[in-house]
């Protein structure tokens, strides 16, 4: 023993390949990807349209399982840990299409997610914490108590972000989270992601076409022709 301990990466992809089977042909989108994601780091994943970014995110977030290879959280394969448990306790995702519950208000969407994941605010009630998060993202109390279908696309996106931030998870995934936002709001979201990684030790993985976002992340990964490569930090 040399006295040093090594913690496993929070998320690891080992030999991950993914193929979609259509009626006529099979499309291999990801090929033999190995990568270790660490806590306290803000990652962006770039790549041309159709290169498999959303597919990678759905495998890493436990929404789907790879046709080959293993995805692990803290050294345990997701299939062993349980995909549902992983999604409820350890990972939150901000989807491109928001995936909000459309019969609820913005506030209810956030508190409902906190109840499902068992997230307990450090102080105060869940409702208070949810309102605080929505407010930080520029949604006042009147907007927060409106049905989400009566909000603009950009406002719905901010509700989806607040919902993910409210769940105290280890890994935050986001698919084009700043796509519908004006420059100032987008910058605020990027700052939040960086703080989550650097101050709260979360692993943040964002799929994007935005260079503005990528240049502000710690590590930039690129997907091309099924392969994942890391760009040297500039
Ligand atoms: N459920 C599916 N069944 C079959 N093919 C699929 C399915 N989902 C995605 N694909 C195909 O897999 C490839 C990668 O899609 P994916 O959505 O992961 O790419 P992307 O990089 O996120 O694209 P974009 O930047 O346009 O969102 C595309 O060719 C797409 O048509």
- Give tens-digit pLDDT for 5-27: 667 899 999 999 999 998 888 99
Report the nearest-CA residue for atom 2 of ligand 1.
Answer: 20
* Ligand 1 in reach of 41 Cβ (< 6 A): no
* Ligand 1 in reach of 226 Cβ (< 6 A): no
CA pseudo-torsion sign 77, 13, 55, 137? positive
| DSSP-derived 3-state class of residue 54 | helix
CA-to-CA distance for 11 and 76, rounded, in angstroms?
9
Q: What is the DSSP string of 99-122?
A: ---TTSBHHHHHHHHHHHHT---S
Assess whether pLDDT exceeds 80 at residue 234.
no
**pLDDT score for 4:** 57
* Ligand 1 in reach of 49 Cβ (< 6 A): yes
Q: Report residue 204 as tokens.
A: 């943040």
**pLDDT score for 117:** 86
* Ligand 1 in reach of 103 Cβ (< 6 A): no
CA proximity to 10, closest of 51, 45, 42, 46? 42
**pLDDT score for 1:** 45
What is the chain's mean pLDDT, rounded? 91
* Ligand 1 in reach of 192 Cβ (< 6 A): no
The fold adopted by the segment(s) 11-230 is: Rossmann fold (3.40.50)
Tell me what percent of the residues of the chain surpass a pLDDT of 70.
97
What is the b/e burial string over 53-86, where b = at least 16 CB atoms within 10 angstroms of the residue's CB? bbbbbbbbbbbebbbebbbbbeeeebeebebeeb
Report the nearest-CA residue for atom 18 of ligand 1.
Answer: 52
Assess whether pLDDT exceeds 90 at residue 45.
yes
* Ligand 1 in reach of 51 Cβ (< 6 A): yes
Q: Report residue 198 as tokens.
A: 């650097």
Q: What is the dihedral of CA 52, 57, 62, 64, to 10 degrees?
A: -20
173 CA to centre of ligand 1 in angstroms = 17
**pLDDT score for 5:** 60
* Residue count (the chain): 234
**pLDDT score for 232:** 73
Predicted ipTM of the assembly: 0.97
Question: Is pLDDT larger for residue 234 or for residue 43?
Answer: 43
Tell me what percent of the residues of the chain surpass a pLDDT of 90.
71
Find out whether 150 and 159 touch, Cβ atoms under 8 Å.
no
**pLDDT score for 29:** 96
**pLDDT score for 9:** 94
Q: Report residue 200 as tokens.
A: 């709260």
| DSSP-derived 3-state class of residue 137 | coil
Number of helices (H), then strands (E), belonging to the chain: the values are 9, 10
- Candidate ranges 112-126, 144-158, 220-234; pick with highest mean pLDDT: 144-158
């Amino acid at each position: 023993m040399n006295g040093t301990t090594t913690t496993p990466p929070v998320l690891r992809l080992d030999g991950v390949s993914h193929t979609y089977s259509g009626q006529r042909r099979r499309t291999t989108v990801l090929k033999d990807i190995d990568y270790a994601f660490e806590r306290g780091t803000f990652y962006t994943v770039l790549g041309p349209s159709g290169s498999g970014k959303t597919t990678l995110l759905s495998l890493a977030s436990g929404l789907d399982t790879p046709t080959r290879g293993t995805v692990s959280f803290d050294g345990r394969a997701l299939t062993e840990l349980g995909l549902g448990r992983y999604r409820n306790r350890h990972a939150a995702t901000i989807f491109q299409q928001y995936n909000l519950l459309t019969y609820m208000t913005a506030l209810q969407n956030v508190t409902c997610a906190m109840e499902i994941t068992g997230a307990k605010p450090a102080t105060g009630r869940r409702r208070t914490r949810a309102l605080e998060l929505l407010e930080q993202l520029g949604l006042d109390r009147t907007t927060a108590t409106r049905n989400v279908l009566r909000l603009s696309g950009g406002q719905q996106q901010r509700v989806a972000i607040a919902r993910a931030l409210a769940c105290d998870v280890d890994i935050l995934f986001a698919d084009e989270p700043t796509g519908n936002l004006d420059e100032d709001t987008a910058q605020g979201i990027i700052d939040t992601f960086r703080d989550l990684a650097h101050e709260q030790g979360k692993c943040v993985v964002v799929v994007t076409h935005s260079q503005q976002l990528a240049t502000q992340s710690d590590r930039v990964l690129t997907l091309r022709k099924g392969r994942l490569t890391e760009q040297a930090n500039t």
